[in-house]
Amino acid sequence: MQDQLLQIGLLIAIALLLCGWLARLTESAKQRTQAVRDGTNLLNESFDYAERVLDDPATPEDIREILCVLVEVLPEREKSLYIIDEFVRLLEKKDRRSLKSSSFADALDKLHKHRPDLAHDARNALATGFLAMLLLHMNDVTLRTTTEAAMNPLSVSDAVSKFRDKIRQSNNDGPHGGIRHATA
């Protein structure tokens, strides 16, 4: 009789452990599903902002070029992870002042003086695009960069610029150049 009670107790304990594990797994799946949903919404927002900026003839070439690269990169996992990696490297630099001295930042400052609405949309295209990349690829990156990215979209433009330069360089290195190796 005691053996049967022990077996029943053991089965109940196993069942409770399985229920707890399944509950955690279900919650994790719900959170991941919500992150993908939020990432997709941010991706669409980024595309909307980028489209408005790219369609406007007042958009400077430096901004246009960065946003074109961003629009190309956003849907692709490997390229998105490269941008995120570059962004993290930029944040880890000791001298962060260099993050603000890009042609994109200069063009954005000039644009803001006569078209603040367009400058706002360009910043939002970068910020929402980067956050979309983080949410869509959250299993592949450390999310400690999320807050920093949202607060400093200009450093995202620097990461996108580095990716653009990598594309230019890879045109001489074959179809994938150094991009595939940078994310492996």
pLDDT of residue 139: 72
The answer to whether 111 touches 60, Cβ cutoff 8 Å, is yes
The answer to whether 46 touches 128, Cβ cutoff 8 Å, is yes
Beta strands in the chain (DSSP E): none
pLDDT of residue 165: 67
pLDDT of residue 164: 63
Q: Which of 56, 66, 58, 37 is nearest to 125 (CA)?
A: 66
Direct distance between the N- and C-terminal alpha carbons of the chain, in angstroms, rounded to an integer: 59
Low-confidence spans in the chain with pLDDT less than 70: 90-102, 140-184
Residue 53: other Cβ atoms inside 10 A: 26
pLDDT of residue 76: 85
